Amino acid sequence: MHDMTQEDLAQKIGVTRQTILAIEKGKYVPSLDLAFRIARHFDVNIEEVFTYEKEGRTIEID
């Protein structure tokens, strides 16, 4: 959907590429602030990027 690399996204929202990767892999749960920044970057609601699960959280960035 968005033709963007992890490095691009990381630079845009001011984190490292490893952080984006860790979020995608479910290794790291981002703060609310970072979650909103990611969602705003894609101009979507936060629920469209993150889904809450009881045993952790998943992120779906296309």
CB of 53 to other proteins, least distance (A): 17
Distance from C-alpha of 14 to C-alpha of 1, rounded to nearest angstrom: 21
Nearer to other proteins, 13 or 42 (CB): 13
The residue with tokens 């981002």 is 30
Q: Using CB under 8 A, list all residues that contact other proteins.
A: 5-6, 14-16, 18-19, 21-22, 24-25, 27-28, 30-31, 33-34
CB of 50 to other proteins, least distance (A): 15
Q: What are the beta bridge partners of residue 3?
A: none
**1: which DSSP letter?**
-
